[in-house]
Structure 1
Amino acid sequence: MTQSSARRQEYEIELPPLGDLPLHRDVSFGQRLWQQGWLRKTLILVVLAVVWEVAARVQGNDLLLPGFLQTAKAFIAGIGSGELPVKVWVSLKVLIKGYLIGLLLAFVLTTLAVSTQFGRDLLSTLTSMFNPLPAIALLPLALLWFGLGEGSLIFVLVHSVLWALALNMYSGFLGVSDTLRMAGRNYGLKGLRFVGYILIPAALPSILAGLKIGWAFAWRTLIAAELVFGASSGQGGLGWYIFQNRNELYTDNVFAGLAAVILIGLLVENLVFATLERVTVKRWGMQR
């Protein structure tokens, strides 16, 4: 069979000139402001404060619900007297100790889990047993074993941090691609060097998520524990400050203590963890 059709003539289509169309869309000043995340979050907080103040005025009982302005005055007075910063520092010292110990234990368990079959069985068994167990349920044992002090608080903090962080870290390690694993093996990486150079950087999004979850668990567990047996090393922390003012019916100080808990959570989330994500996983293109 022969092809008798002739080759089609080539031709060009001339496109009309673009003209003087603007290359960039004009964005108003208001739109540029609205694109700022800090401004949107601040607006949300302002709206919540207004709703709180209106609800308190409608309710009309300062003993049950002090307004936002009254709470702000109590918060400023607590900072000015030095009582509130001291309570916050006492709580943060205990929190940092328990958090670091829990982080270290989670790293050890996860390293064993990715290295040996026994480590995997150990991590799976321990997390199945202890992860569903509320940390606050261990308070009676903590009192028996460590007494009324910092040791009991650190014990329940380690429990609240360890399992959530270990699970997230291990799931992140399992999600590392085989290509990266083979690249590490080809370079002769084994043991801790393989974990440090290959697994941790690749699993960093999951690790950071576990760090944030562990921080949230630890912070609320500490406040709850201090509400129950609060004094540590002769001093009470922020939870004990809230409990004492509740007994004395200083509800504005109770709300000031709760505001301090919330503010510390916001600062840690938006300064510490957001900065870590920005300089690592977001900079590396691993997260939006």
Structure 2
Amino acid sequence: MSRLAVPPIRPEIDRILPPFVEAPVARARPLSERLWQQGWLRRGLILAALALAWEGLARWQDNDLLLPGCLATLSALADGVASGEILDRVRISLTVLAQGYLAGIVLAFGLTSLAVSTQFGRDLLSTLTAMFNPLPAIALLPLALLWFGLGTGSLVFVLIHAVLWPLALATYAGFQGVPETLRMAGRNYGLTGLAYVGRILVPAALPAILSGLKIGWAFAWRTLIAAELVFGAASGRGGLGWYIFQNRNELYTDRVFAGLLLVIAIGLVVETVVFASLERVTVRRWGQVR
């Protein structure tokens, strides 16, 4: 047998590197550019611009009965806060909202868990959402008043309807988008039922679930204000919506705008503080969204 050919050994090459020159320090960005990177500042400028446009339009209109200015509205809001009346109305509204919102979340997760576990649950979810999701929640208020009477139960009923279907659809869509690899990992660990949903599907579908929670919150908040306009007129009491309705009847337009401004402010706080913080400590921290 012939000896195996030995490959030639390549000669070593020494490369002389150029001397290291310290990289120049990056120039610090100007203060204006650093401030512009702050999201709260950009949003604040947008709100300030809207307030200036509002005040300018009100002064050009020159009719406080039709369009009070931003300063007059803020003054009416300060008076309502000082007297405690508007804060009491907000407390009533938020208490009812919390009851309906939490009940809708529980029912939505129960219905969605059934849908991902059984074929009957999937058929039930698709049928019910096709029937009731297009139905406006406020349209059920007369029926709710007939069933539950003039009380909190009527408002809670329409709030559950406003939250349940969009949240169930968003959650189920998120569950459907979970990668098969994660599903197989859960089955390999022997997870079934609620344990499989809670440990595998919910963390993986959390971005879609949070989107559904935000949509459900928006639907519930505006449904509550609209329902209180009718419910408050019928019962003589109510929350922030009744405050707006009552002052509209008495032609206190600045108080009407103060109530509307407070509705917007509560929506902004929930959206930019509550949900933004929840996203920051969960899906953004975990790298599930950008």
TM-score bin, normalised by smaller chain: over 0.9
Partner of 2:4: none
Partner of 2:196: 194
Give how far 1:83 is off. Answer: 0.3
Instruction: Summarize the alignment of residues 1-288 of structure 1 with structure 2, pairs less than 5 Å apart.
Output: 19=21, 21-230=23-232, 235-288=237-290
Give TM-score, length-normalised by structure 2. 0.93
CA RMSD, 1 decimal: 1.9
CA distance in 1, matches of 2:277, 2:233: 33
Give the unaligned 5+ runs of structure 1: 1-7
Give the secondary-structure state (helix, strand or coil) at the position aligned to 1:105.
helix
Give TM-score, length-normalised by structure 1. 0.93
Distance 1:194 1:116, change over 3 A: same
Give the secondary-structure state (helix, strand or coil) at the position aligned to 2:67.
coil
CA distance in 1, matches of 2:217, 2:140: 18
Percent of residue pairs bearing the same amino acid type: 71
Give the unaligned 5+ runs of structure 2: 1-9
Give how far 1:136 is off. Answer: 1.0
Is this contact kept in 2: 1:113–1:121, CA < 8 A? yes
CA distance in 1, matches of 2:246, 2:54: 24
Give how far 1:229 is off. Answer: 1.8
Amino acid at match of 1:127: T
Give the secondary-structure state (helix, strand or coil) at the position aligned to 1:230.
helix
Give how far 1:234 is off. Answer: 6.7
Amino acid at match of 1:269: E
CA distance in 2, matches of 1:67, 1:275: 33
CA distance in 1, matches of 2:234, 2:281: 36
Give how far 1:13 is off. Answer: 7.9
CA distance in 1, matches of 2:236, 2:16: 86
